[in-house]
């Protein structure tokens, strides 16, 4: 696999949305936009009862923001638009009327942690360590912060946001509430995710829809909040500190 993609397959009431990018499943703006489109489509499709969100490949779940795009941001409006891509995905996930199961097969960084946190039920392998690296490059996990805090709590989110150099292992993430279950292999994870999704398809769709509303109560301001957070990241990415740091990654 060398070309980025977002695909959606529907079978027996289960919509599987998969994204891929050859740079460790990083997320440029076009992939983020396609994720929003696919999540909205699956949410509106009466044939879909539950959604599985996964990434391609066998290693990294998501490396977060595309460094190539970050390096090329030269004004605050472009920066806001780019970081709003993550805001749009998280908001699409929280407003989707179907339960979204996260399938996290490997390491996830930055924006990827936010996407994992925005799933309704997240399952992972023991290799799925997490890191919020944003402070390390001169910005911060402003857009994804509310979603991560909702799952890990303020203490857990603050810990990994401040310790931006460290990966926290899958068991830590499970204990904090991000992962519901952790498996020894991708094969075991895939079997468990499929079985869980099939079981959810036996539930009353109306009950699941209403339950999701209850679970996400208190996030009604996120359309505005995450846009405001995207503005912060949009101007921070222009700072001399961040520009010099990104050059080293380049």
- CA count, 13 A, side-chain hemisphere, 208: 21
**How many Å apart are CA 155 and CA 204, to the nearest integer?**
35
Token output for 247 = 């050059």
**What pLDDT digit, counting tens, does each position of 62-71 carry?**
999 998 899 9
- CA count, 13 A, side-chain hemisphere, 60: 19
**What pLDDT digit, counting tens, does each position of 157-188 carry?**
999 999 999 999 999 999 999 999 999 999 99
pTM of the model: 0.96
**How many Å apart are CA 4 and CA 20, to the nearest integer?**
5
User: In the prediction, which pLDDT does 250 show?
Assistant: 62
What mean pLDDT is predicted for residues 48-57? 97
Residue linked to tokens 């970050």: 70
Q: Which of 104, 133, 132 is nearest to 116 (CA)?
A: 104
User: In the prediction, which pLDDT does 1 show?
Assistant: 65
**What pLDDT digit, counting tens, does each position of 11-23 carry?**
999 999 999 999 9
What mean pLDDT is predicted for residues 117-127? 98
Q: Which residues pair with 185 in a beta bridge?
A: none
- DSSP secondary structure code for residue 62 in this structure: B
User: In the prediction, which pLDDT does 116 show?
Assistant: 98
First to last CA, the chain: 22
Whether 152 shows a pLDDT value over 90: the answer reads yes
Helix segments in 19-129, DSSP class H: 29-44, 67-71, 76-95, 111-117
Whether 225 shows a pLDDT value over 70: the answer reads yes
| Annotation: CATH topology of 5-200 | 2-enoyl-CoA Hydratase; Chain A, domain 1 (3.90.226)
Residue linked to tokens 């020894």: 184
Mean of per-residue pLDDT scores for the chain: 96
- Asked if 140 contacts 185 with a C-beta cutoff of 8 angstroms, the reply is no
What mean pLDDT is predicted for residues 136-154? 97
User: In the prediction, which pLDDT does 224 show?
Assistant: 97
Whether 82 shows a pLDDT value over 80: the answer reads yes
Q: Which residues pair with 64 in a beta bridge?
A: 26
Cα–Cα–Cα angle for 16, 66, 7, nearest 5°? 20
**Where exactly are the structural domains of the chain?**
5-200
- Asked if 142 contacts 233 with a C-beta cutoff of 8 angstroms, the reply is yes
Token output for 211 = 């339950």
- CA count, 13 A, side-chain hemisphere, 170: 23
Q: Which residues pair with 71 in a beta bridge?
A: none
What percent of the chain has pLDDT above 70?
A: 99
């Amino acid at each position: 696999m060398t070309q980025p993609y977002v695909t959606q397959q529907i079978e027996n009431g289960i919509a599987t949305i998969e994204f891929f990018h050859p740079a460790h499943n990083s997320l440029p703006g076009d992939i983020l936009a396609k994720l929003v489109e696919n999540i909205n489509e699956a949410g509106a499709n009466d044939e879909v009862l539950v959604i599985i969100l996964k990434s391609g490949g066998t290693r990294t779940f998501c490396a977060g923001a595309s460094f190539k795009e970050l390096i090329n941001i030269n004004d605050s409006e472009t920066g806001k638009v780019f970081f709003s891509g993550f805001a749009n995905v998280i908001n699409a996930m929280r407003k989707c009327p179907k339960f979204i199961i996260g399938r996290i097969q490997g390491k996830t960084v930055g924006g990827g942690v936010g996407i994992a946190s925005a799933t309704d039920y997240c399952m992972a392998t023991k290799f799925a360590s997490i890191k919020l690296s944003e402070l390390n490059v001169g910005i911060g996990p402003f857009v994804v912060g509310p979603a991560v805090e909702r799952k890990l709590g303020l203490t857990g989110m603050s810990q990994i946001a401040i310790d931006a150099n460290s990966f926290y292992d899958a068991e830590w993430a499970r204990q904090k509430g991000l992962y519901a279950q952790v498996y020894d292999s991708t094969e075991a994870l895939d079997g468990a995710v499929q079985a869980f999704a099939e079981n959810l398809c036996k539930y009353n769709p109306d009950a699941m829809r209403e339950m999701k509303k209850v679970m996400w109560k208190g996030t009604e301001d996120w359309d505005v909040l995450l846009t405001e957070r995207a503005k912060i990241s949009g101007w921070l990415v222009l700072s001399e500190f961040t520009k010099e740091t990104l050059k080293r990654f380049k």
